[in-house]
Structure 1
Amino acid sequence: MSAAHGCLHLNNFKAAKGTRPYRLIHSFFVACTSSEARKRKAKSCVCHVCQRRGPRLHACLHCIFFGCYGAGHIQAHSQQRKHFLAVDLTYGVVCCFQCGDYVYDRELETIAQKHQTKASLSLGLGQVYHSWEPSEEEIELLKKHTRRKKITDSATIGLRGLVNLGNTCFMNCIVQALLKVPLLRDFFLSDRHICQFQDEPSRCLVCEISRLFQEFYSGNKAPLTLHRLLHLIWTHARHLAGYEQQDAHEFFIATLDVLHRHCRGPNEQQSTQPQENSVNRCTCIIDQIFTGGLQSDVVCQACHGVSTTVDPFWDISLDLGPSPSTKVVTTGNGPGSIPTSLQDCLERFTRAEHLGSSAKIKCSRCLSYQESTKQLTMKKLPVVASFHLKRFEHSNRFHKKISSFIAFPEYLDMSPFMSHRRNINNNVNSDSPDRSDRPVHKPLISTENMYSLFAVINHVGTIEAGHYTAYIRQHRDHWFKCDDHLITKADIRDVLQSEGYLLFYHKMILEYE
């Protein structure tokens, strides 16, 4: 994105017509600041050439024209009419076809932020999260205190070992992963947290995490001891109390739960206006980063009526063994197979499953108990996608660990597992007699659902005597292995060949909500 000196063409346009054209487009077709705007966008937001809603729909800033970028219709309009400025209706940024790039403008950015806040309030979601910008008072303080600490190796800032307090490697690994989430770092380093425990702040887990961020990014490289964090976890999640080895996944979920409860200040309450089939969540920083929406579609086999629910999730737990209902076991990603990759696991997780005659449900349309199928898909993707590979099996007869290698990519496209994509595939692949006459929907290449790997937690050893380590990504392409107090340089090949237990991916493109 071009931003060094601004865009001359955009500046000339603003000098002639002001910011009103951008305000109207962003208010009605990007942020949708009112119910009227949402209705207008749903009705009018289609390409004027192909009548499709994308991919990457843009609105001309000079005249009333919508065109999709992926098919080149907005570019053709720009050349024909000499209208060189257009607004991306997904992200609200301005594209200048003379510069050949998206351009940044602080004045338009301020307008966009105000619209996003207004839209969020109109939906009952409270304030949206924005990255920290210094206030006038903070700018004056920065001017008065100009001294900076000299950093000899910037690649290692934010890296510190963590002392094992006795079987606490599970906690150390989760902390290392959480401290590498960029939005969490921005939130805590800019003092955005308002403590709920004003009379007793030592009870607040969020305050302790905030202190850890300050410690990690202070430049000191000496290993830290997390005794206060461990005590707070024992206090607020009593099932984890004790010095025995705990499960890293269970600790991760318990930590998010406590942070979520302690983050919800007076302006961060649960949404009071939940929409049908939407993710009903609060607006605290934890939910903004980690919460996604899991859609469940139950289809009656008698009348084909569909019952849909959407539930929030913080992570996805994926089975590694064969389906218990299948006698024949194969490898690959076919029905009943043993998964060999993360994509196999997700394919099986989102595949429609026949519930059988022993699990009949009462159909709201038939008003009788019928057999049905159930399918889970991703309705809403989180900023940080966390995957739990279920390597530990527990039953009344035995406890065992699945140590088979599960390949996982450095970059992950979640588009095939989205609800709308699976619905299209189900319609195309249905067994109806006229399916040959239906148009085949070719998958669209989209970067909106792309994720990059930033942390991997591994469990080495047996289920009775094991040890947790973590690989974490620093900056763009530096990887390090965290083994309690020891931090060593690693290579991406070491990461991808490891026996992953928890996988953490960060969305590559962030959009306003």
Structure 2
Amino acid sequence: MPVFKVNVKWGKEKFSDVECNTDEPPMVFKAQMFALSGVQPDRQKIMVKGAVVKDDDWGNIKLKDGAMFMMMGSADALPQAPVEKTMFVEDMTDQQLAKALEMPPGLMNLGNTCYMNATVQCLRAIPELREALRKYGGNLSVAGGVSAADSITAALRDLYNSMDKKPGGAIPPMIFIQVLHMAYPQFAEKSEHGGFAQQDANECWTEVVRCLQQEVDVPQELLKESSRSSSRFIDQYLGGEFEVGMKCEEAEGEPESKSTEKFYQLSCFIEKDVKYMQTGLRSRLEEHITKNSPSLGRDAIYKKSSKIKRLPGYLAIQFVRFYYKEKEAINAKILKDVKFTMSLDVYDLCTPELQAKLQPARDKFKELEDKKAEEMIQNKASGKTEEEPAKPTKMEPYSFPDDLGSNNSGFYELQAVLTHKGRSSSSGHYVAWVKKKGDEWYMFDDDNVTCVTAEDVLKLSGGGDWHSAYVLLYGPRVLEVPLEETS
């Protein structure tokens, strides 16, 4: 790999032994110089051997260790042009409009990086994760020397911090993509045209979550003394557990075995008769497999039955839309329309023991809904048309007291959807759709952020070449009760 240690002179300062990888576009090197000097990449002019370094390719520039670069550019903010006339909404660019409306920031596409941008935006929909990352003290290195999990986690923390400080703008996630490429070289694969190749967003999601699982702890002040609670954030807030039973169908006398399996994502298999997400989820929970039977002394058919014994506060669901097509050597896409819902109830997928634990919170939800319905009937009967002033309320905990980050009701609300548009996982385009509040949503199409409705999101169920849901993120449905009813 052509990696060189070079020196960079910037005014009176000199940066020594800066790592430069000519397999990556020069924009990655400029991102390193931004981290060192504070000069934005678009304001850097870098020269070596009399040639100006471009953004997208190194051209004919040949390097060796110890090469001297010259960099020009100011880290100070550029002076703003005076306002000469009133700017009307219809005259604004998309970025100006986003800033005026205080839209959340988008992420620039650095060359087929929409899969990463969509993953980052969807995971940012978990407020507890953002808070835990703020308190993460790990190190970031673009030159190696620390673990992949540490670098990915620190880079995501810094990227979220930048996004929090820049509403309505667009941020180039250069450091994060560089760290991702270093940690997982498969994401740095080049296309036949020389740029980065498109990657699978769910693979990116899985690797990022795995890194977070190793590094991010639950904030200490939230941890309670409990035999169940882990100190790892992902285990507590995104990790669930299956109770798995194995019964041999060829040997009735062989006892059924029981075991526990962890999961960080449920799979919705898209088969011929699957029209709704819940059907696809159930098909995953009962299957037949072949394994060795100790009583028969040979391979036999077993029925594998799974039930959820622990529900996480945030539930990720992957629509298994891609399969390998040998003739074309691609991961082809199943375009079938599979409906999903804004509200999800997974009570029927749980063990009887967990169902019993979920019942008290479910009864509270039903009691509150019945009370609201009764009030509406009474108001209609009395001819009341004006809404009464909103009473002060309190959010009830959505976790069991002894299990931080769990879901204590089985009820969920959709928080984010990661979609794919195209015919294969190695092509097309990925977009994130994230809930704002109520029926209001944001669509994050890289650096283009627009407002959409819940109705628009429900149209992402597939069935054609339009965006189709690939990964869904559900969050806990929180019980909101009047203050006088809280204990």
TM-score normalised to structure 2 length: 0.57
The one-letter code of the counterpart of 2:414 is: L
Contact 1:236/1:258 (CA < 8 Å) preserved in 2? no
Q: Is the 8 A contact 2:112 2:198 kept in 1?
A: yes
Structure 2 counterpart of 1:361, one-letter code: N
Deviations 1:307-364 (A, max 9, x none): 1111211112222124xxxxxxxxxxxxxxx2011111112122x3344xxx243257
Q: Which residue of 1 aligns with 2:456?
A: 494
Higher relative contact order (CA 8 A, sep 6+): 2
Query: Which residue is equivalent to 1:466?
Result: 428
Equivalences for residues 364-379 of structure 1 within 5 A: 371-379=301-309
Is 2:167 the partner of 1:233?
Answer: no
The residue that corresponds to 2:411 in the other structure is 450
Give the counterpart letter for 1:353 in structure 2.
E
**Alignment check: 8 A CA contact 1:259 1:286 kept:** yes
Count of aligned pairs: 310
Give the SS at the match of 1:229.
Answer: helix
Q: Which runs of 5 or more structure 1 residues have no equivalent in the other structure? A: 1-151, 268-272, 323-337, 425-443
Residues in 2 aligned to 1:319 and 1:391: alpha-carbon distance in whole angstroms: 8
* Cα shift at 1:422: 10
CA contact (8 A) 2:266 2:281 kept: no
Of the structure 1 ranges 339-348 and 397-406, higher mean CA displacement relative to structure 2 is found in 397-406
User: Given that residues 300 and 363 in structure 1 are in contact (C-alpha distance below 8 angstroms), is that contact kept between their aligned partners in structure 2?
Assistant: no
- Structure 2 distance, partners of 1:193, 1:204, is 12
Amino acid at match of 1:221: G
- The one-letter amino acid paired with 2:172 is T
* Matching of residue 195 in structure 1 with residue 146 in structure 2: no
Per-residue CA deviation, residues 183-230 of structure 1 (Å, 9 max, x unaligned), is 112223xx3213267997896222222222222222532100111101
C-alpha separation in 2, matches of 1:491 and 1:230: 30
Alignment-derived partner of residue 154 in structure 2:
207
**1:345 aligned to 2:280?**
yes
Contact 1:157 1:219 in 2 (8 A): no
Which residue identity lines up with residue 451 of structure 2 in the other structure?
K
Q: 1:481–1:299: structure 2 CA closer, same or farther, 3 Å change rule?
A: same
Q: Work out the CA distance in 2 between the residues paired with 1:221 and 1:201.
A: 33
Residues 99 and 168 of structure 2 are in contact (CA less than 8 Å); yes or no, is this contact kept in structure 1?
A: no
Aligned in 2, Cα 1:207/1:349: closer, same or farther, shift over 3 Å?
Answer: same
In structure 1, the residue corresponding to 2:444 is in which secondary structure? strand
Aligned to 1:411: 343
Work out whether 1:317 is the aligned partner of 2:264.
no
The answer to whether residue 246 in structure 2 is matched with residue 298 in structure 1 is yes
What percentage of aligned pairs have identical amino acids?
A: 24
Hey, what does 1:249 align to over in structure 2?
202
C-alpha distance after superposition, 1:398-427 (max 9, x if no partner): 542111111000000011101227999xxx
CA contact (8 A) 2:140 2:155 kept: no
CA offset digits 1:240-269 (Å, max 9, x no partner): 2231100000000011112223336999xx
For residue 293 of structure 2, the aligned residue among 362, 369, 377 is 362
CA offsets 1:38-78 (integer angstroms, 9 cap, x no match): xxxxxxxxxxxxxxxxxxxxxxxxxxxxxxxxxxxxxxxxx
1:455 positional shift: 0.6
Which segment is superposed worse, 233-242 or 305-314? Answer: 233-242
Aligned match of 1:433 = none
Question: Aligned to 1:212, what secondary structure does the other structure show?
Answer: helix
For residues 16-55 of structure 1, the aligned pairs below 5 Å read: none
User: Partner amino acid for 1:171?
Assistant: M
Q: Deviations over 1:257-284 (max 9, x none)?
A: 12223336999xxxxx9x9xx9xx9522
The 3-state SS of whatever aligns with 2:473 is strand
- Native 8 Å contact 1:459 1:469 kept in 2: yes
Q: Which has a greater percent of strand?
A: 2
CA distance in 1, matches of 2:116, 2:171: 13
Whether the 8 Å contact between 2:270 and 2:321 is mirrored in structure 1 is: yes
Distance verdict in 2 for CA 1:412–1:445, change over 3 Å: farther
Residue 508 (1) aligns with residue 449 (2): no
Paired letter, 2:135:
R
What secondary structure is seen at the aligned counterpart in 2 of 1:344?
A: helix
Q: Work out the CA distance in 2 between the residues paired with 1:201 and 1:372.
A: 44
RMSD: 3.6
Distance 1:265 1:493 in 2: 35
How far apart are 1:179 and its partner, in Å? 1.0
> Using the alignment, how far apart are the partners of 2:355 and 2:253 within structure 1?
18
For residues 488 and 180 of structure 1, what CA distance do their matches in structure 2 show? 16
CA contact (8 A) 2:266 2:317 kept: yes
Question: Would the alpha carbon gap of residues 375 and 397 (structure 1) be closer, same or farther in structure 2, given more than 3 Å must change?
Answer: farther
Deviation larger for 292-301 or 486-495: 292-301
- 1:502 is displaced (CA, Å) by 0.9
CA–CA distance in structure 2, aligned partners of residues 234 and 222 of structure 1: 25
Q: Give the direction of change, closer, same or farther, for the CA distance of 1:200–1:471 in structure 2 (3 Å limit).
A: same
Letter in 1 for 2:433: Y
Partners of 1:153 and 1:461 lie apart in 2 by 27
* Superposed displacement of residue 470, structure 1: 1.7
**Aligned pair in 2 of structure 1 residues 421, 260: CA closer, same or farther (>3 Å)?**
closer
Question: For residue 308 of structure 1, what is the aligned residue in structure 2?
Answer: 258
Say which SS state the counterpart of residue 107 (structure 2) adopts: coil
AA of the residue aligned to 1:319? F
Distance 1:303 1:224 in 2: 63
Comparing 198-207 with 246-255, which one deviates more in the overlay? 198-207
- Secondary structure of 1:204 counterpart: helix
